[in-house]
Amino acid sequence: MPDDIKLDKELKVVGHRNVRPDGMDKVTGRAKYGADLILPGMLYGRVLRSPHAHAKIKSIDTSAAEALPGVKAVVTGKDFPDQPKSKPPYGPMIQDAWDATRNIIAREKVFYDGHCVAAVAATSDSIAKQALKLIKVDYQILPHVIDPIEAMQPDAPILHEDQFTLGVEGATKPSNVFRIMKAAKGDVDKGFAEADLIIERDFKTKAVHQGYIEPHACVGNASEDGNVEVWTSTQGHFVSRNQLANLLGLPVGKIRLTSSEIGGGFGGKIPMYGEPLAVRLSQKANRPVKIVMTRDETFRSTGPTSGSHVWMKIGVKNDGRIVAADAKLYYEAGAFKGAGIAAAIGCMFSEYDLENIRIEGYDIVSNRPKVAAYRAPGVPMAAFAVEGVINQIAKKLKIDPVDIRLKNAAKQGTVNVSGIKYGPIGFIELLEKVKAHPHYNTKLEKNQGRGFAAGYWMHAGGMSCASVNIQDDGTVTLIEGNPDIGGSRASMAAMAAEELGIPFEKVRPIIADTSSLGFTFLTAGSRTTYATGMAVVEATRHAIKICCERAAAVWGVTPEQVKWEDGHAKPASANVGDFAPLSLSELAKKAPMMGGPIAGHSEINATGQGPAIGGHLVDVEVDPETGFVKLLRFTVFQDVGRAISPDYVEGQLQGGAIQGLGWALNEEYIYNDKGQLVNAGFLDYRMPVASDVPMIGTVLIEEPNPNHPYGVRGVGETPIVPPQAAVANAVENAIGIQMSELPMSPPKILRAIAADRLKAAE
C-alpha cells in the first residue's frame, strides 16, 4: 500500500481509487485478447523460423508444403514488396522500412536464430505445423557475432555490407556500428582537472526480454474488394496500420485495425511481427488467418532490449559535487539498427544538475532479434553505470548516498544535456522523503545491505484524438485510441467524469479501431495519460460548451452567461436570472429538439510533457555461501506529477521495479556457440516469480506538471530505471563488492566473493 497520497479535496473523481472499467471482464476471463478472435472459415498460420544465427538464403522450396492437403497459402519474403532504405538524418526512433520488411520476413539473409523465413496458413494448426516441416530452405551458414564489443572488432562478421558508420568521417569499410551519437555540455576536460576524486568503471548488461505474459497474436482478414481488417494485440494500432499500408502497398484508408485487450507490452508490442504475414496469407487464401506465437517464438524473434557495455568516468569535489561526467555506451541493436542510445543519452544524467557532460553512444548491429523498446528504452543500462559510480564516490568520500544526490539534484531551471530547461520538478522533495522514510532508518543485520538509486525518463507527447458522446439518458461514451495496458481507461474516464461533474461509473471509455477515430500515437513513452488525457479533457470541455449553449438557448441568455458546475448548467451569476440548473441528462433529453446530439471532440499534437524522476530503496540479504540474493524490502519513490488513478500508478511503480529486479538478478539471453538461444522459455529465462518479491512500497510525490490540466507527468517508464543499480548498490553494501555485470546471478556473486577473499589473503 502507498505510504502517502496527496489528494486535493475539491476533486471528486480524479485522484480517487476508481475501479477500472476493464477490470471485471479481465477477472472473469471474458476480456478478448489477441488469440481470442475466431472467425468463420478462419485458417491457422504458422511461421518457419531460422535455426541459424546468420546465414544466406540460397533457395526456399515451398512446393511440398503447398501440396499438403489443408494448406491454403504459403508466403516467403518474395511475397512482399521490397522497401527503400531510409536516409539520414535519422530520428532517435528509426523506422526504416527496408529493415522492417526484412525483420518481418527474411529476404537475402537470416540474421538471427528465430528469424521468420516463411509462413503457412492451413485449415488446422497441426496441418500448418506439418507444412512447416515440408518447406526446404537451403542456407549458406555465415559466421555470427552477438556481443556488441566483438561486433565492433575489425574481423567481426559483417551483417550489412552496405552499412557505413554514421558519425565517422570518410568511413570506407562496412561496419556493424550503425552510428555514433554524441552529446556534450560544458567542458569535461576542465571539470576533470578540477576534480578531487575521479572514479572510472566498466559495466555490462545482458539482453533481456519484456516478458509480457500474452504472446503476440493477431487475425488478418483481407476481402476480395481490397479492404483489410486486422485484430491484434498491439501498443499502437494506428501506427501499425500506417506501417502495414506501407509494407503491403495498400491505401491507409483500406485498412482497419482493431486492438484487442493487451496482456502486457512494455514496448515490445510496438513493432509488428505476425500482422503483415497474416494479411498476406489471407490475401492469398481468401480466408481469415490467425497467427499466435508460442512462448519460444516470442523469446527468439521479438523484443528484447539491448545487451550493453558502458564505460563511465565521473569526477567530484571532496564535498560530493560532481564536476565532470564522461560516458561511452555500446548497445546491441540486434539484427537492424536502432538501439536506444538517444534516449539513454537524453536521460542518463538528467536527474542531476551537472555543468560538464560528455557522452558517446554506439548503435551496433549483431545476430540477435532486432531490439524493441522496453520501458524507458536504453536508459536502465546507462543508469546502472551512473548510479553505480555515484555510489562508489559516496562510499569513498563517506557521504550518505542520498546526500550526494541532494548535492547534485536537478531543480527548476536546471538545463540537461539535451538543452531542456526544467520547470517544477520534485527530485529534492523526493530525496528528502527518502531520508525521512522509516525504510531508510531501520537497522540492518549481518549479510544485509541497503542500496539507493535514482532514475529519469523524459516522456512523450504527440498526436491524440478523443470524442465524447453524451447519450440521451445523460450517460457518456468516451472514445479514444490508445490500447489500455496499465489502466488508462480508468484515468480517461476519471478526467471526463471530473470535467462533467458526474459519477465515474456514468462514463464508459471505448478504444476505437483505426477507422473510427483520428490518428492516435502509441501507448508508449508514458504518453497516454498525458497526451490522450489532454485530448479527453479538451473533448469533454467541447461537449460542455455545447451543453452551456443549449442551456443558454433554453433560458434565452448568452452562452457566456452560463457556467458548468457539478454536472449542471447554471447561471454564471445572480445577475443572469433565476433559472433552475439543467443537468446533463435533462440537456441530453432535450437534444433532439435542439439541434441534435451533443458530442465533443479533440484532435491534438501534445507538447509540454514533464519528466519524472524516481528513487528506489532496497534492502537485500546475500547468502555468502551460495550467492543468493534475497530481497527483503523495496520502496519506490517517484514524482508522478499527479496520480489520476493512484491504484494503477502504484501498479506501474511496482511493475517497473519488479522488471528491473529480474534484470538485475537472473534474467539473461543465453546463447550456445552456434548463436542459438537456449533458454527460450519462462523456466530458464528466469523472471522473478511472486514469491521472489516483497510487497513493494510506493511513495507518490506529486509535483504537478503545469502543462497538463490535471498535472500529469506520466509514470510507467521511470520505475524500471533505478532498480538494477539500487540492487547492485545494496549487494555492495552487504558484501563490500561492487557487481558491475548484470545479471548478478548467484554464480557471479559467489565468484566475486571468492576473488575478493583471495585478494584479501594476498
Partner 1 sequence: MDEMRYETPTSVNAAVKLLAGEKGLAKVLAGGTDLLVQMRGETVVPNLIVDIKKIADMKAIKKEKGGFRVGAAVSGAELGEHPELSKMWPGVVEATELIGSTQVQGRATMTGNLCNASPGADSVPALIAAGALAAIAGPNGKREVPVEQIPVSPGKTSLAKGEFVTSLFLPKRPKKSGDAYLRFIPRTEMDIAVVGCGISLTLDKAGTVLAARVALGAVAPTALLVDAAANAIIGTKLEDAALDALAAACSAACRPIDDKRGTKEFRIQIAGVLARRVALIARARALKK
Chain contacts with partner 1 (rule: CB under 8 A): 126, 130, 296, 625-628, 665-666, 670, 678-679, 683-684, 686, 688-689, 691-692, 745-747, 750-751
d(CA 468, CA 509): 9
What is the residue whose three cell numbers read 485458417?
A: 43
Nearer to partner 1, 24 or 670 (CB): 670
Q: Which of 4, 12, 134 is closest to 66 using CA atoms? A: 134
Nearer to partner 1, 244 or 658 (CB): 658
DSSP state of 530: I
d(CA 334, CA 352): 31
Cβ pair 667, 658 in contact under 8 A: no
d(CA 341, CA 576): 60
SS3 42: coil
Cβ pair 655, 634 in contact under 8 A: no
- Residue 746 CB, nearest distance to partner 1 (Å)? 5
Cβ pair 685, 665 in contact under 8 A: no
Nearer to partner 1, 155 or 625 (CB): 625
d(CA 68, CA 72): 9
d(CA 268, CA 272): 9
- Residue 663 CB, nearest distance to partner 1 (Å)? 14
Q: Which of 159, 155, 191, 209 is closest to 53 using CA atoms? A: 159
d(CA 371, CA 271): 10
Nearer to partner 1, 593 or 683 (CB): 683
d(CA 569, CA 353): 48
Cβ pair 273, 256 in contact under 8 A: no
SS3 257: strand
d(CA 591, CA 554): 11
Q: Which of 26, 96, 206, 11 is closest to 651 using CA atoms? A: 26
- Residue 72 CB, nearest distance to partner 1 (Å)? 17
Nearer to partner 1, 198 or 750 (CB): 750
- Residue 353 CB, nearest distance to partner 1 (Å)? 39
Other CB atoms within 10 Å distance of the CB of residue 669 = 22
- Residue 51 CB, nearest distance to partner 1 (Å)? 14
- Residue 296 CB, nearest distance to partner 1 (Å)? 8
SS3 428: helix
Nearer to partner 1, 38 or 683 (CB): 683
Nearer to partner 1, 185 or 633 (CB): 633
- Residue 758 CB, nearest distance to partner 1 (Å)? 14
Nearer to partner 1, 426 or 688 (CB): 688
**Helix, strand and coil percent figures for the chain, each rounded to 5:** 30, 25, 45
Q: Is the CA virtual torsion 583, 585, 591, 596 positive or negative? A: positive
Cβ pair 620, 630 in contact under 8 A: yes
Give 442's Cβ-side CA count (13 Å radius): 17
**DSSP labels for 706-758?**
TTSTT-----SSGGGSSHHHHHHHHHHHHHS----BSS--HHHHHHHHHHHHH
Nearer to partner 1, 18 or 676 (CB): 676
Nearer to partner 1, 213 or 420 (CB): 213
Nearer to partner 1, 224 or 625 (CB): 625
Q: How far is CA 433 from the centre of its chain?
A: 27
Nearer to partner 1, 126 or 412 (CB): 126
Cell for 699?
A: 511513495
| Amino acid present at 357 | I
Cβ pair 416, 488 in contact under 8 A: no
Nearer to partner 1, 232 or 654 (CB): 654
Nearer to partner 1, 436 or 683 (CB): 683
- Residue 670 CB, nearest distance to partner 1 (Å)? 5
Helix residue ranges per DSSP H, 162-229: 188-194
- Residue 675 CB, nearest distance to partner 1 (Å)? 15
- Residue 126 CB, nearest distance to partner 1 (Å)? 7
- Residue 582 CB, nearest distance to partner 1 (Å)? 56
Pairing of strands 217-222, 289-292: antiparallel
- Residue 692 CB, nearest distance to partner 1 (Å)? 5
Nearer to partner 1, 270 or 665 (CB): 665
Cβ pair 74, 12 in contact under 8 A: no
Nearer to partner 1, 51 or 486 (CB): 51
Nearer to partner 1, 35 or 587 (CB): 35
- Residue 127 CB, nearest distance to partner 1 (Å)? 8
Query: Which residues make Cβ contacts (< 8 Å) with residue 625, sequence separation at least 6?
Result: none
- Residue 70 CB, nearest distance to partner 1 (Å)? 10
d(CA 564, CA 317): 57
Cβ pair 531, 460 in contact under 8 A: yes
Cβ pair 549, 559 in contact under 8 A: yes
- Residue 202 CB, nearest distance to partner 1 (Å)? 22
- Residue 680 CB, nearest distance to partner 1 (Å)? 10
- Residue 477 CB, nearest distance to partner 1 (Å)? 39
Q: Which of 68, 455, 375, 440 is closest to 211 using CA atoms? A: 375
d(CA 579, CA 682): 65
- Residue 122 CB, nearest distance to partner 1 (Å)? 12
Other CB atoms within 10 Å distance of the CB of residue 346 = 23
d(CA 174, CA 165): 7
Nearer to partner 1, 19 or 755 (CB): 755
